[in-house]
Structure 1
């Protein structure tokens, strides 16, 4: 196999994926585009990543789209689910996932530029948004797969202000730290809901 690099786009299954990290013989990848729109959970009730319907879907129906050879390359990992840095709402228990969503530390500190100082030292005016002028916002913008000229917002697995909200990336790349409604997403969008960009660790 040719040498792979962070930032490179690869094909796996039916999707194109961006390499976010490489460790030894494995790579963390995330879909290059928002591949579909789904609710975070199928009931409007308190939940965390561990119990939400989107996690069940990604590790069930979505995972089963891959053939056996592809499944053998998807590495199960233990994910830490941290509390909301501003509101203290609980991230829930650690989870073992084959397919997962990125969390706020992934998108702020690790894989889309480093804005960690703003995360670990929250400003007093940070109540709804992470930082409108953050230099790394443009790195977090994502396009819809079926309309590559259209940006949309996409879910993270991190909890929002309360346990019926989850953090998300706005269309402009800023982070909605208060979160969107887990069932209806951004209610002003009507019937549309949050974008899904699955991530996984792939055996190279």
Structure 2
């Protein structure tokens, strides 16, 4: 898609509307499908978007299938494996060369106490961002469900936790079916250097996620250039 046509197509989108952009495996057998993005903000010159679905399950840090949830280590967002994965493997898998020209490099702050700012093509939301965006879109923005691919167990041992207990607040209706929500990572460092913030299925924002947990989801965000 040419830049002028791209900008013309998406410039009038309103927060809460959706676009498709890029592809990623989403079925149990790994079939690639178009990624659905929710528009969070539209400044006229750029779109701030968030994946509507948890696309994969990754540890905040750590790649070995032998890692246990207690095997967390001190790490900051700039150096964690999840940031590297988002900006390398995911970025190169999900987007073509033509699509990459529309993805802005975003200056990410609120990465945690003492954590440097970063420059990212793809990133996770921060605590400050999800709180501010919840004021605009409502707390239901925090309820996330994963694709079938995200739920499948990967070679690194990760598979998405899905709520399956009795609290109905932790479910949403998708395509006419009641679906359990999942936990998903934020980029902000948690209450210890070996932890990160995450969002729970009931919309809670928590600070105590050991960064080696293998069941939390990845909800990518990015900014798209409309100019």
Instruction: Give TM-score scaled by structure 1 length.
Output: 0.77
Q: Is 2:173 the partner of 1:150?
A: no
Q: Is 2:189 the partner of 1:159?
A: yes
| 1:73-84 mapped onto 2 (5 Å cutoff) | 73-83=102-112
Aligned to 1:10: 19
Aligned to 1:140: 142
Asked if the contact 1:48–1:163 (Cα under 8 Å) also holds between the matched residues in 2, the reply is: yes
Task: Rate the CA distance shift 1:165–1:98 in 2: closer, same or farther, 3 A.
Answer: same
Deviation of 1:91 after TM superposition, in Å, equals 4.9
Asked if the contact 1:151–1:171 (Cα under 8 Å) also holds between the matched residues in 2, the reply is: yes
Aligned to 1:68: 97
SS at match of 2:135: coil
Aligned to 2:85: 57
Deviation of 1:139 after TM superposition, in Å, equals 3.0
Q: Is 2:222 the partner of 1:200?
A: yes
Task: Determine which of 38, 42, 45 is the counterpart of 2:62.
Answer: 42
Asked if the contact 2:40–2:49 (Cα under 8 Å) also holds between the matched residues in 1, the reply is: yes
In structure 2, C-alpha distance between the alignment counterparts of 1:91 and 1:193, rounded to whole Å: 27
Deviation of 1:112 after TM superposition, in Å, equals 1.7
Give structure 1 stretches of 5+ with no counterpart.
84-89, 115-135, 185-191
Aligned to 2:115: 92
SS at match of 2:140: helix
| 1:87-126 mapped onto 2 (5 Å cutoff) | 90-109=113-132, 111-113=133-135
Asked if the contact 2:110–2:128 (Cα under 8 Å) also holds between the matched residues in 1, the reply is: no
In structure 2, C-alpha distance between the alignment counterparts of 1:195 and 1:91, rounded to whole Å: 25
SS at match of 1:112: helix
Please give the per-residue CA displacement for 1:24-74, whole angstroms capped at 9, x wherever unaligned. 321000100111111000173111110100000000000102111100000
Compute the RMSD of aligned alpha carbons.
Answer: 1.9
Asked if the contact 2:111–2:187 (Cα under 8 Å) also holds between the matched residues in 1, the reply is: no
Give structure 2 stretches of 5+ with no counterpart.
1-7, 24-34, 64-71, 152-173
